[in-house]
Amino acid sequence: MKVFVDSGRCQGHGLCNMSAPETFDLDDDGYARVPASEVPDDGGLRTRVRAAVDGCPERALSIEG
Amino acid sequence: MSTRLGLGNEIRTRGMLLAGNGLQKLFALAGDPDARLLGVKPAADPYPLYEKLRARGPLSQNRMGFYLTPTHELVSAMLRDQRLGTTSSAALDGVRWQRHPEDEQLVHPVEHSLLTMNPPEHTRLRKVVAPWFTPRALRDRTDRVEQTVTEFLDEIGDGEFDLVRDFAIRVPVRVICDLFGISDDHRDAFSRWGTVLAGTLDGIRTIRERRAVRDTLVEMTAFFDNLVEHRRTHPGTDDVVTGLVRARPDGAALNRRDLVALAGLLLGAGFETTVNLISNGVTALLANPDAKRLLIEEPDRAADITEEVLRFDPPVQVTGRLTHEPVEYGGTRIPANRLIVLFLGGANRDPAVFAEPTRFDADRPNNREHLAFSSGIHYCLGAGLARIEGEVALRELFRRYPHLRAAGTPLRREGRTIRGLRSMPMHTGVPRNVLARR
Protein backbone atom coordinates (compact mmCIF):
# COMPACT_ATOMS: atom_id res chain seq x y z
CA MET A 1 0.00 0.00 0.00
CA LYS A 2 1.36 3.39 -1.04
CA VAL A 3 0.15 6.81 0.05
CA PHE A 4 0.58 10.16 -1.69
CA VAL A 5 0.03 13.79 -0.77
CA ASP A 6 -1.02 16.40 -3.31
CA SER A 7 0.93 19.43 -2.08
CA GLY A 8 -1.18 21.72 -4.25
CA ARG A 9 -4.26 20.81 -2.18
CA CYS A 10 -2.74 20.42 1.29
CA GLN A 11 -3.60 23.40 3.52
CA GLY A 12 -1.60 22.29 6.55
CA HIS A 13 -4.44 21.25 8.89
CA GLY A 14 -2.14 18.52 10.20
CA LEU A 15 -4.90 15.96 10.84
CA CYS A 16 -3.04 13.18 8.98
CA ASN A 17 -0.01 13.74 11.21
CA MET A 18 -2.25 13.39 14.27
CA SER A 19 -3.74 10.13 12.99
CA ALA A 20 -0.56 8.46 11.69
CA PRO A 21 2.63 10.36 12.57
CA GLU A 22 4.75 7.38 11.42
CA THR A 23 3.63 7.99 7.84
CA PHE A 24 2.74 11.67 7.65
CA ASP A 25 5.40 14.21 8.50
CA LEU A 26 4.87 17.98 8.55
CA ASP A 27 7.33 20.38 6.98
CA ASP A 28 8.45 23.57 8.75
CA ASP A 29 5.36 25.42 7.56
CA GLY A 30 3.05 22.64 8.65
CA TYR A 31 2.26 21.07 5.30
CA ALA A 32 2.07 17.29 5.02
CA ARG A 33 4.95 15.25 3.65
CA VAL A 34 5.26 11.52 3.12
CA PRO A 35 8.95 10.63 3.49
CA ALA A 36 8.30 6.97 2.60
CA SER A 37 5.22 6.36 0.50
CA GLU A 38 5.13 2.59 1.15
CA VAL A 39 3.01 1.93 4.26
CA PRO A 40 4.15 -1.25 6.05
CA ASP A 41 1.53 -3.78 7.11
CA ASP A 42 2.19 -2.99 10.72
CA GLY A 43 -0.62 -3.65 13.18
CA GLY A 44 -3.12 -0.82 12.97
CA LEU A 45 -0.98 1.56 10.91
CA ARG A 46 -2.71 0.91 7.57
CA THR A 47 -6.09 1.43 9.22
CA ARG A 48 -4.95 4.74 10.66
CA VAL A 49 -3.48 5.82 7.32
CA ARG A 50 -6.80 4.98 5.64
CA ALA A 51 -8.67 6.99 8.27
CA ALA A 52 -6.31 9.93 7.62
CA VAL A 53 -6.88 9.70 3.88
CA ASP A 54 -10.68 9.59 4.34
CA GLY A 55 -10.60 12.38 6.89
CA CYS A 56 -8.43 14.88 5.00
CA PRO A 57 -10.55 18.03 4.74
CA GLU A 58 -8.90 18.95 1.44
CA ARG A 59 -8.91 15.44 -0.07
CA ALA A 60 -5.18 15.93 -0.59
CA LEU A 61 -4.23 12.34 0.25
CA SER A 62 -4.57 9.25 -1.89
CA ILE A 63 -3.80 5.55 -1.61
CA GLU A 64 -2.58 3.10 -4.23
CA GLY A 65 -2.68 -0.65 -3.76
CA MET B 1 -37.90 59.62 2.29
CA SER B 2 -35.33 57.52 4.03
CA THR B 3 -37.51 57.44 7.16
CA ARG B 4 -40.44 56.12 5.16
CA LEU B 5 -38.23 53.53 3.51
CA GLY B 6 -36.93 52.58 6.92
CA LEU B 7 -40.42 52.26 8.36
CA GLY B 8 -41.67 50.14 5.45
CA ASN B 9 -38.64 47.93 5.82
CA GLU B 10 -39.27 47.68 9.56
CA ILE B 11 -42.90 46.62 9.10
CA ARG B 12 -41.96 44.05 6.47
CA THR B 13 -39.30 42.67 8.75
CA ARG B 14 -41.70 42.45 11.65
CA GLY B 15 -44.10 40.52 9.43
CA MET B 16 -41.42 38.12 8.31
CA LEU B 17 -40.18 37.58 11.82
CA LEU B 18 -43.69 36.88 13.07
CA ALA B 19 -44.48 34.52 10.21
CA GLY B 20 -41.21 32.61 10.53
CA ASN B 21 -41.35 32.36 14.29
CA GLY B 22 -45.01 31.40 14.21
CA LEU B 23 -44.45 28.48 11.87
CA GLN B 24 -41.47 27.21 13.77
CA LYS B 25 -43.33 27.50 17.05
CA LEU B 26 -46.25 25.54 15.66
CA PHE B 27 -43.96 22.77 14.44
CA ALA B 28 -42.19 22.74 17.79
CA LEU B 29 -45.52 22.33 19.58
CA ALA B 30 -46.29 19.44 17.25
CA GLY B 31 -43.14 17.77 18.60
CA ASP B 32 -41.16 17.94 15.37
CA PRO B 33 -37.52 17.32 16.42
CA ASP B 34 -36.05 19.54 13.73
CA ALA B 35 -38.36 22.41 14.69
CA ARG B 36 -37.14 22.07 18.25
CA LEU B 37 -33.55 22.10 16.95
CA LEU B 38 -34.01 24.99 14.56
CA GLY B 39 -36.83 26.82 16.34
CA VAL B 40 -36.95 30.06 18.27
CA LYS B 41 -36.22 28.59 21.69
CA PRO B 42 -33.35 26.16 21.29
CA ALA B 43 -33.56 22.94 23.26
CA ALA B 44 -31.36 22.90 26.38
CA ASP B 45 -30.18 19.44 25.38
CA PRO B 46 -30.19 18.91 21.60
CA TYR B 47 -28.66 15.42 21.69
CA PRO B 48 -31.86 13.38 22.16
CA LEU B 49 -33.35 15.34 19.26
CA TYR B 50 -30.46 14.32 16.97
CA GLU B 51 -31.30 10.71 17.82
CA LYS B 52 -34.96 11.23 16.88
CA LEU B 53 -33.79 12.69 13.59
CA ARG B 54 -31.35 9.79 13.07
CA ALA B 55 -34.19 7.34 13.60
CA ARG B 56 -35.92 8.88 10.57
CA GLY B 57 -32.98 7.96 8.33
CA PRO B 58 -29.73 9.55 7.20
CA LEU B 59 -31.37 12.32 5.20
CA SER B 60 -34.78 13.80 5.84
CA GLN B 61 -36.65 16.84 4.66
CA ASN B 62 -38.56 19.18 6.94
CA ARG B 63 -41.72 21.15 6.37
CA MET B 64 -39.77 24.25 5.38
CA GLY B 65 -38.19 22.26 2.51
CA PHE B 66 -34.74 22.02 4.13
CA TYR B 67 -32.81 18.77 4.02
CA LEU B 68 -31.36 17.60 7.33
CA THR B 69 -28.71 15.09 8.30
CA PRO B 70 -27.21 14.06 11.65
CA THR B 71 -25.01 11.24 10.31
CA HIS B 72 -21.21 11.33 10.30
CA GLU B 73 -20.97 9.82 6.84
CA LEU B 74 -23.20 12.39 5.15
CA VAL B 75 -22.06 15.43 7.13
CA SER B 76 -18.41 14.60 6.40
CA ALA B 77 -19.02 13.90 2.71
CA MET B 78 -21.19 16.98 2.18
CA LEU B 79 -18.73 19.33 3.90
CA ARG B 80 -16.08 18.12 1.44
CA ASP B 81 -18.35 18.20 -1.62
CA GLN B 82 -17.40 21.08 -3.92
CA ARG B 83 -20.86 21.01 -5.50
CA LEU B 84 -22.19 22.42 -2.24
CA GLY B 85 -21.40 25.95 -1.10
CA THR B 86 -21.80 28.08 1.97
CA THR B 87 -24.47 30.63 2.51
CA SER B 88 -25.33 33.01 5.32
CA SER B 89 -28.55 32.48 7.19
CA ALA B 90 -29.42 36.07 6.37
CA ALA B 91 -29.50 35.22 2.67
CA LEU B 92 -32.03 32.52 3.44
CA ASP B 93 -34.50 33.96 5.89
CA GLY B 94 -34.46 37.39 4.28
CA VAL B 95 -34.31 39.35 7.53
CA ARG B 96 -31.67 42.02 7.06
CA TRP B 97 -29.96 44.02 9.73
CA GLN B 98 -29.56 47.05 7.45
CA ARG B 99 -31.95 49.86 8.38
CA HIS B 100 -30.62 52.85 6.44
CA PRO B 101 -28.97 53.26 3.03
CA GLU B 102 -25.67 54.24 4.74
CA ASP B 103 -25.70 50.89 6.53
CA GLU B 104 -24.30 49.41 3.31
CA GLN B 105 -20.95 50.82 4.55
CA LEU B 106 -21.09 48.56 7.63
CA VAL B 107 -19.13 45.32 7.50
CA HIS B 108 -20.53 42.08 8.88
CA PRO B 109 -17.71 39.69 9.91
CA VAL B 110 -19.78 36.64 9.00
CA GLU B 111 -21.81 37.68 5.99
CA HIS B 112 -18.92 39.52 4.32
CA SER B 113 -16.08 37.16 5.19
CA LEU B 114 -14.46 33.83 4.36
CA LEU B 115 -17.04 32.01 6.40
CA THR B 116 -19.76 32.54 3.81
CA MET B 117 -17.55 32.80 0.70
CA ASN B 118 -17.03 30.18 -1.95
CA PRO B 119 -13.99 29.61 -4.20
CA PRO B 120 -12.22 31.39 -5.80
CA GLU B 121 -12.70 34.38 -3.42
CA HIS B 122 -12.52 32.08 -0.41
CA THR B 123 -9.24 30.49 -1.58
CA ARG B 124 -7.64 33.87 -2.23
CA LEU B 125 -8.47 35.30 1.21
CA ARG B 126 -7.84 32.14 3.19
CA LYS B 127 -4.27 31.98 1.84
CA VAL B 128 -3.67 35.49 3.15
CA VAL B 129 -4.37 34.55 6.78
CA ALA B 130 -3.20 30.92 6.75
CA PRO B 131 0.45 31.70 7.68
CA TRP B 132 -0.58 32.78 11.21
CA PHE B 133 -2.13 29.38 11.85
CA THR B 134 0.41 26.87 10.58
CA PRO B 135 1.71 24.34 13.11
CA ARG B 136 5.05 26.14 13.22
CA ALA B 137 3.44 29.53 13.91
CA LEU B 138 1.34 27.91 16.63
CA ARG B 139 4.29 26.20 18.29
CA ASP B 140 5.74 29.67 18.84
CA ARG B 141 2.51 30.76 20.56
CA THR B 142 2.19 27.87 23.01
CA ASP B 143 4.40 29.43 25.71
CA ARG B 144 2.42 32.64 25.57
CA VAL B 145 -0.86 30.72 25.98
CA GLU B 146 0.59 29.01 29.06
CA GLN B 147 1.67 32.37 30.55
CA THR B 148 -1.78 33.81 29.87
CA VAL B 149 -3.58 30.93 31.54
CA THR B 150 -1.28 31.08 34.58
CA GLU B 151 -1.81 34.83 34.90
CA PHE B 152 -5.60 34.50 34.94
CA LEU B 153 -5.54 31.59 37.40
CA ASP B 154 -3.34 33.72 39.69
CA GLU B 155 -5.95 36.46 39.52
CA ILE B 156 -8.74 34.03 40.41
CA GLY B 157 -6.84 32.96 43.50
CA ASP B 158 -9.07 31.01 45.89
CA GLY B 159 -12.80 31.10 46.46
CA GLU B 160 -15.80 31.83 44.26
CA PHE B 161 -15.54 32.96 40.66
CA ASP B 162 -17.40 32.76 37.38
CA LEU B 163 -15.67 30.29 35.11
CA VAL B 164 -16.91 31.98 31.93
CA ARG B 165 -16.38 35.63 32.88
CA ASP B 166 -13.13 35.20 34.82
CA PHE B 167 -11.43 32.49 32.78
CA ALA B 168 -13.01 30.83 29.73
CA ILE B 169 -13.61 34.12 27.89
CA ARG B 170 -10.43 35.86 29.00
CA VAL B 171 -8.01 33.25 27.68
CA PRO B 172 -9.11 33.26 24.03
CA VAL B 173 -9.69 37.03 23.98
CA ARG B 174 -6.11 37.63 25.17
CA VAL B 175 -4.76 35.06 22.69
CA ILE B 176 -6.51 36.71 19.77
CA CYS B 177 -5.52 40.20 20.97
CA ASP B 178 -1.89 38.99 20.96
CA LEU B 179 -2.36 37.86 17.38
CA PHE B 180 -3.66 41.36 16.56
CA GLY B 181 -0.90 43.03 18.56
CA ILE B 182 -3.42 44.98 20.65
CA SER B 183 -4.16 45.09 24.37
CA ASP B 184 -7.23 43.35 25.72
CA ASP B 185 -8.55 46.57 27.34
CA HIS B 186 -11.51 46.41 24.97
CA ARG B 187 -12.39 42.87 26.03
CA ASP B 188 -15.81 43.81 27.39
CA ALA B 189 -16.77 45.37 24.06
CA PHE B 190 -15.34 42.40 22.13
CA SER B 191 -17.27 40.00 24.29
CA ARG B 192 -20.49 42.01 23.84
CA TRP B 193 -20.04 42.07 20.03
CA GLY B 194 -19.27 38.36 19.99
CA THR B 195 -22.37 37.49 21.97
CA VAL B 196 -24.66 39.47 19.66
CA LEU B 197 -23.16 38.12 16.42
CA ALA B 198 -22.79 34.52 17.59
CA GLY B 199 -26.37 34.64 18.90
CA THR B 200 -27.64 35.62 15.45
CA LEU B 201 -25.51 33.23 13.38
CA ASP B 202 -28.68 31.28 12.81
CA GLY B 203 -30.68 34.30 11.75
CA ILE B 204 -32.24 37.37 13.31
CA ARG B 205 -35.40 36.45 15.20
CA THR B 206 -36.62 39.59 16.91
CA ILE B 207 -36.64 43.33 16.30
CA ARG B 208 -34.44 43.69 19.37
CA GLU B 209 -31.85 41.34 17.86
CA ARG B 210 -31.96 43.22 14.61
CA ARG B 211 -31.24 46.50 16.38
CA ALA B 212 -28.48 44.88 18.45
CA VAL B 213 -26.79 43.46 15.34
CA ARG B 214 -26.83 46.82 13.61
CA ASP B 215 -25.52 48.70 16.67
CA THR B 216 -22.77 46.10 17.08
CA LEU B 217 -21.74 46.43 13.44
CA VAL B 218 -21.56 50.22 13.77
CA GLU B 219 -19.13 49.87 16.70
CA MET B 220 -17.17 47.00 15.19
CA THR B 221 -16.76 48.54 11.76
CA ALA B 222 -15.49 51.78 13.30
CA PHE B 223 -13.07 49.87 15.53
CA PHE B 224 -11.58 47.85 12.67
CA ASP B 225 -11.53 50.77 10.22
CA ASN B 226 -9.43 52.61 12.81
CA LEU B 227 -7.18 49.64 13.52
CA VAL B 228 -6.55 49.07 9.81
CA GLU B 229 -5.77 52.78 9.29
CA HIS B 230 -3.47 52.73 12.29
CA ARG B 231 -1.56 49.72 10.94
CA ARG B 232 -1.15 51.41 7.58
CA THR B 233 0.78 54.24 9.23
CA HIS B 234 2.21 52.26 12.18
CA PRO B 235 2.91 48.74 10.93
CA GLY B 236 3.61 46.10 13.55
CA THR B 237 6.19 43.35 13.22
CA ASP B 238 4.18 40.14 13.01
CA ASP B 239 0.57 41.01 13.86
CA VAL B 240 -2.17 39.76 11.60
CA VAL B 241 -3.68 43.17 10.71
CA THR B 242 -0.33 44.49 9.43
CA GLY B 243 -0.16 41.27 7.41
CA LEU B 244 -3.62 41.88 5.96
CA VAL B 245 -2.76 45.48 5.06
CA ARG B 246 0.45 44.38 3.32
CA ALA B 247 -1.04 41.34 1.57
CA ARG B 248 -1.13 41.45 -2.23
CA PRO B 249 -2.84 38.22 -3.29
CA ASP B 250 -2.84 38.09 -7.10
CA GLY B 251 -0.99 41.41 -7.10
CA ALA B 252 -3.74 43.56 -5.58
CA ALA B 253 -4.31 44.83 -2.03
CA LEU B 254 -7.41 43.67 -0.18
CA ASN B 255 -10.32 46.08 -0.37
CA ARG B 256 -11.66 47.75 2.76
CA ARG B 257 -14.61 45.40 3.15
CA ASP B 258 -12.48 42.25 2.87
CA LEU B 259 -9.92 43.66 5.31
CA VAL B 260 -12.41 44.72 7.95
CA ALA B 261 -14.50 41.55 7.57
CA LEU B 262 -11.46 39.28 7.87
CA ALA B 263 -10.18 41.10 10.93
CA GLY B 264 -13.64 40.96 12.51
CA LEU B 265 -14.02 37.28 11.71
CA LEU B 266 -10.62 36.39 13.19
CA LEU B 267 -11.46 38.29 16.35
CA GLY B 268 -14.96 36.88 16.75
CA ALA B 269 -14.26 33.31 15.67
CA GLY B 270 -11.12 33.44 17.78
CA PHE B 271 -12.95 33.60 21.06
CA GLU B 272 -16.67 32.95 20.55
CA THR B 273 -15.96 29.29 19.92
CA THR B 274 -13.02 28.63 22.25
CA VAL B 275 -14.84 30.10 25.25
CA ASN B 276 -17.39 27.31 24.81
CA LEU B 277 -14.76 24.64 24.29
CA ILE B 278 -13.45 25.54 27.75
CA SER B 279 -16.85 25.84 29.46
CA ASN B 280 -18.19 22.66 27.82
CA GLY B 281 -14.96 20.91 28.79
CA VAL B 282 -15.26 21.87 32.45
CA THR B 283 -18.93 20.81 32.42
CA ALA B 284 -18.04 17.41 30.94
CA LEU B 285 -15.14 16.85 33.35
CA LEU B 286 -17.21 17.70 36.42
CA ALA B 287 -19.88 15.25 35.25
CA ASN B 288 -17.31 12.50 34.53
CA PRO B 289 -15.09 11.94 37.57
CA ASP B 290 -12.99 9.26 35.81
CA ALA B 291 -11.99 11.67 33.06
CA LYS B 292 -11.30 14.39 35.62
CA ARG B 293 -9.10 12.03 37.63
CA LEU B 294 -7.22 11.07 34.45
CA LEU B 295 -6.54 14.74 33.68
CA ILE B 296 -5.30 15.45 37.21
CA GLU B 297 -3.15 12.32 37.46
CA GLU B 298 -1.86 12.38 33.88
CA PRO B 299 -1.81 16.01 32.68
CA ASP B 300 -0.13 14.83 29.47
CA ARG B 301 -3.48 13.40 28.43
CA ALA B 302 -5.00 16.90 28.20
CA ALA B 303 -4.84 16.77 24.39
CA ASP B 304 -6.92 13.55 24.29
CA ILE B 305 -9.39 15.01 26.75
CA THR B 306 -9.73 18.22 24.72
CA GLU B 307 -10.35 16.14 21.59
CA GLU B 308 -13.07 14.18 23.37
CA VAL B 309 -14.70 17.42 24.56
CA LEU B 310 -14.78 18.57 20.93
CA ARG B 311 -16.47 15.32 19.95
CA PHE B 312 -18.79 15.01 22.94
CA ASP B 313 -20.09 18.58 23.14
CA PRO B 314 -18.87 20.75 20.24
CA PRO B 315 -19.20 24.56 20.47
CA VAL B 316 -20.62 24.74 16.94
CA GLN B 317 -23.57 22.37 16.68
CA VAL B 318 -24.85 23.01 13.20
CA THR B 319 -23.84 24.39 9.85
CA GLY B 320 -25.48 24.54 6.44
CA ARG B 321 -24.68 24.13 2.78
CA LEU B 322 -26.50 25.18 -0.34
CA THR B 323 -26.56 22.92 -3.41
CA HIS B 324 -24.98 24.70 -6.41
CA GLU B 325 -26.25 21.95 -8.70
CA PRO B 326 -28.48 18.89 -8.27
CA VAL B 327 -26.78 16.19 -6.17
CA GLU B 328 -27.68 12.68 -5.10
CA TYR B 329 -26.98 11.25 -1.68
CA GLY B 330 -28.03 7.80 -0.52
CA GLY B 331 -30.59 7.53 -3.31
CA THR B 332 -32.14 10.93 -2.56
CA ARG B 333 -31.91 13.52 -5.31
CA ILE B 334 -31.56 17.06 -4.03
CA PRO B 335 -32.28 19.81 -6.57
CA ALA B 336 -30.07 22.91 -7.00
CA ASN B 337 -30.40 25.81 -4.54
CA ARG B 338 -31.63 23.76 -1.60
CA LEU B 339 -30.40 24.17 1.93
CA ILE B 340 -28.92 21.17 3.71
CA VAL B 341 -28.70 21.48 7.48
CA LEU B 342 -25.69 19.56 8.81
CA PHE B 343 -25.80 18.70 12.51
CA LEU B 344 -22.15 18.51 13.58
CA GLY B 345 -23.28 17.67 17.12
CA GLY B 346 -25.29 14.73 15.73
CA ALA B 347 -22.43 13.48 13.54
CA ASN B 348 -20.13 13.49 16.58
CA ARG B 349 -22.50 11.10 18.35
CA ASP B 350 -23.09 8.78 15.43
CA PRO B 351 -22.98 5.19 16.76
CA ALA B 352 -21.78 4.02 13.33
CA VAL B 353 -18.46 5.79 13.99
CA PHE B 354 -18.20 6.23 17.76
CA ALA B 355 -18.90 3.28 20.06
CA GLU B 356 -21.15 4.25 22.99
CA PRO B 357 -21.35 7.81 21.69
CA THR B 358 -23.07 9.25 24.77
CA ARG B 359 -20.16 8.23 26.97
CA PHE B 360 -17.31 10.70 27.58
CA ASP B 361 -14.24 8.58 26.93
CA ALA B 362 -10.78 10.13 26.61
CA ASP B 363 -9.37 6.74 25.56
CA ARG B 364 -11.52 6.54 22.44
CA PRO B 365 -9.14 5.42 19.66
CA ASN B 366 -10.81 7.55 16.97
CA ASN B 367 -11.93 10.66 18.82
CA ARG B 368 -10.10 12.81 16.25
CA GLU B 369 -12.64 11.80 13.63
CA HIS B 370 -15.13 14.30 15.07
CA LEU B 371 -16.42 17.12 12.89
CA ALA B 372 -16.36 19.88 15.51
CA PHE B 373 -14.09 21.95 13.25
CA SER B 374 -16.12 21.16 10.14
CA SER B 375 -14.28 19.72 7.13
CA GLY B 376 -13.40 20.56 3.55
CA ILE B 377 -12.26 24.00 2.46
CA HIS B 378 -13.95 25.69 5.44
CA TYR B 379 -12.21 23.48 8.00
CA CYS B 380 -11.61 25.75 10.99
CA LEU B 381 -8.57 27.90 10.31
CA GLY B 382 -7.94 28.30 14.03
CA ALA B 383 -8.38 24.62 14.94
CA GLY B 384 -4.74 24.25 15.99
CA LEU B 385 -4.89 27.35 18.14
CA ALA B 386 -8.19 26.25 19.72
CA ARG B 387 -6.67 22.84 20.53
CA ILE B 388 -3.71 24.47 22.28
CA GLU B 389 -5.97 26.82 24.25
CA GLY B 390 -8.37 24.05 25.27
CA GLU B 391 -5.56 21.73 26.26
CA VAL B 392 -3.61 24.30 28.30
CA ALA B 393 -6.71 25.83 29.91
CA LEU B 394 -8.23 22.51 31.05
CA ARG B 395 -4.92 21.04 32.16
CA GLU B 396 -3.81 24.07 34.19
CA LEU B 397 -7.26 24.75 35.64
CA PHE B 398 -7.54 21.24 37.11
CA ARG B 399 -3.87 21.14 38.06
CA ARG B 400 -4.43 24.28 40.14
CA TYR B 401 -7.91 23.37 41.39
CA PRO B 402 -8.37 19.60 41.55
CA HIS B 403 -11.38 20.16 43.84
CA LEU B 404 -13.07 22.66 41.57
CA ARG B 405 -16.85 22.54 42.08
CA ALA B 406 -20.06 24.27 41.02
CA ALA B 407 -21.22 27.07 43.32
CA GLY B 408 -24.50 27.97 41.64
CA THR B 409 -26.68 27.21 38.66
CA PRO B 410 -24.90 27.51 35.31
CA LEU B 411 -26.73 29.48 32.60
CA ARG B 412 -26.75 28.28 29.00
CA ARG B 413 -26.20 30.61 26.07
CA GLU B 414 -29.10 31.27 23.78
CA GLY B 415 -28.96 30.44 20.09
CA ARG B 416 -29.10 27.29 18.06
CA THR B 417 -25.70 27.28 16.41
CA ILE B 418 -23.35 27.91 19.31
CA ARG B 419 -23.53 25.69 22.38
CA GLY B 420 -21.90 26.69 25.64
CA LEU B 421 -22.38 28.43 28.96
CA ARG B 422 -23.08 32.10 29.55
CA SER B 423 -22.26 31.94 33.24
CA MET B 424 -20.85 29.24 35.51
CA PRO B 425 -20.51 30.15 39.21
CA MET B 426 -17.76 27.98 40.66
CA HIS B 427 -15.71 27.55 43.80
CA THR B 428 -12.00 26.79 43.47
CA GLY B 429 -12.50 24.11 46.13
CA VAL B 430 -10.50 23.39 49.24
CA PRO B 431 -9.09 19.96 50.08
CA ARG B 432 -11.27 18.12 52.61
CA ASN B 433 -8.54 17.84 55.24
CA VAL B 434 -8.17 21.62 55.22
CA LEU B 435 -11.94 21.99 55.71
CA ALA B 436 -11.84 19.54 58.63
CA ARG B 437 -9.17 21.53 60.43
CA ARG B 438 -11.13 24.80 60.28
pLDDT, mean of residues B337-356: 96
Out of A18, A29, A59, name the one closest to residue B368 (CB): A18
Contact call for A30 and B134, based on CB within 8 A: yes
Q: Under CATH, domain B46-427 is a member of which superfamily?
A: Cytochrome P450 (1.10.630.10)
Question: How do residues B48-93 score in pLDDT, each as one tens digit?
Answer: 999 999 999 999 998 878 899 999 999 999 998 989 998 765 555 5
Residue type, B89: S
Supply the pLDDT for residue B94: 56
Out of A11, A18, A28, name the one closest to residue B136 (CB): A28
Contact call for B130 and A51, based on CB within 8 A: no
ipTM of the complex: 0.78
Query: Who contacts B2 (Cβ-Cβ below 8 Å, separation ≥6)?
Result: B100, B101
Where in chain B are the domains? 46-427
Cα Rg, chain B, nearest whole Å = 22
Supply the pLDDT for residue B5: 43
Supply the pLDDT for residue B324: 92
Question: How do residues A21-57 score in pLDDT, each as one tens digit?
Answer: 999 998 887 889 999 999 998 878 998 999 889 888 8
Domain containing residue A23: CATH number: 3.30.70.20
**pLDDT band with cut points at 50, 70 and 90 for residue B98:** confident
Strand partners, B418: B316
Out of A15, A19, A30, name the one closest to residue B136 (CB): A30
By the 8 A CB rule, do B202 and B417 touch?
A: yes
Supply the pLDDT for residue B92: 56
Q: State the DSSP H helix or E strand holding residue A2, giving kind and residue range, or none if neither.
A: strand A2-5
The pLDDT > 70 percentage for chain B reads 88
pLDDT above 70: residue B422: yes
pLDDT, mean of residues B252-279: 93
Supply the pLDDT for residue B387: 96
pLDDT above 70: residue B109: yes
Q: Which long-range contacts (CB under 8 A, 24 or more apart) does A47-53 make?
A: A48/A19, A48/A20, A49/A1, A49/A3, A49/A19, A49/A20, A49/A23, A49/A24, A51/A19, A51/A20, A51/B366, A51/B369, A52/A15, A52/A16, A52/A19, A52/A20, A52/A23, A52/A24, A53/A3, A53/A16
Q: In what order do the strands lie in the sheet with B425-427?
A: B160-162, B425-427, B405-406
| CA B287 – CA B380 distance, rounded (Å) | 28
Question: How do residues B176-215 score in pLDDT, each as one tens digit?
Answer: 999 999 999 988 899 899 888 888 777 787 888 889 999 9
Contact call for A57 and B369, based on CB within 8 A: no
In chain A, which residues have their Cβ closer than 8 Å to the Cβ of B311?
none
Of B58-72, B93-107, B234-248, B286-300, the poorest mean pLDDT is in B93-107
Q: What is the mean pLDDT of chain B?
A: 87
pLDDT above 60: residue B4: no
By the 8 A CB rule, do B90 and B209 touch?
A: no
Supply the pLDDT for residue B301: 97
Other Cβ atoms less than 10 A from the Cβ of A40: the count is 11
SS3 A37: coil
Supply the pLDDT for residue B298: 98
pLDDT, mean of residues B17-32: 52
Of B340-349, B379-388, B414-423, the poorest mean pLDDT is in B414-423
pLDDT, mean of residues B224-237: 95
Q: How far is B321 from chain A (nearest CA, A)?
A: 16
By the 8 A CB rule, do A18 and B365 touch?
A: no
The four Cα atoms B114, B118, B124, B129 give a dihedral, to 10 degrees, of 20
Of A29-33, B41-45, B270-274, the poorest mean pLDDT is in B41-45
pLDDT above 80: residue B428: yes
pLDDT above 50: residue B1: no
Q: Residue B105: which of B4, B193, B225 has the closest Cα?
A: B225
pLDDT, mean of residues B2-23: 49
Supply the pLDDT for residue A59: 84
Supply the pLDDT for residue B353: 96
pLDDT above 60: residue B432: no
Supply the pLDDT for residue B434: 57
Range of the structural domain that residue A54 is part of: 2-64
A12 touches chain B (CB under 8 A): yes
pLDDT, mean of residues B83-109: 77
In chain A, which residues have their Cβ closer than 8 Å to the Cβ of B78?
none
Contact call for A19 and B368, based on CB within 8 A: yes
A43 touches chain B (CB under 8 A): no
Total number of domains constituting chain A = 1
Of A22-31, B93-102, B107-116, B226-235, the poorest mean pLDDT is in B93-102
SS (H, E, C) chain B: CHHHHHHHHHHHHHHHHHHHHHHHHHHHHCCCHHHHHHCCCCCCCCHHHHHHHHHCCCCEECCCCCEEECCHHHHHHHHCCCCEECCCHHHHHCCCCCCCHHHHHCCCCCCCCHHHCCCCHHHHHHHHHHHHHCHHHHHHHHHHHHHHHHHHHHHHCCCEEEHHHHHHCHHHHHHHHHHHCCCHHHHHHHHHHHHHHHHCCCCCCCHHHHHHHHHHHHHHHHHHHHHHHHHHHCCCCCCHHHHHHHCCHHHCCCCHHHHHHHHHHHHHHHHHCHHHHHHHHHHHHHHCHHHHHHHHHCHHHHHHHHHHHHHHCCCECEEEEEECCCEEECCEEECCCCEEEEEHHHHCCCCCCCCCCCCCCCCCCCHHHCCCCCCHHHCCCCHHHHHHHHHHHHHHHHHHCCCCEECCCCEECCCCCECCEEECEEECCCCHHHHHHC
State the burial class of residue B343 (Cβ atoms within 10 Å of its Cβ: 0-12, 13-18, 19+): buried
Supply the pLDDT for residue B197: 86
CA atoms within 13 A on the CB side of B264: 32
Supply the pLDDT for residue A1: 93
Strand partners, B291: none
Q: Residue B125: which of B11, B264, B238 has the closest Cα?
A: B264
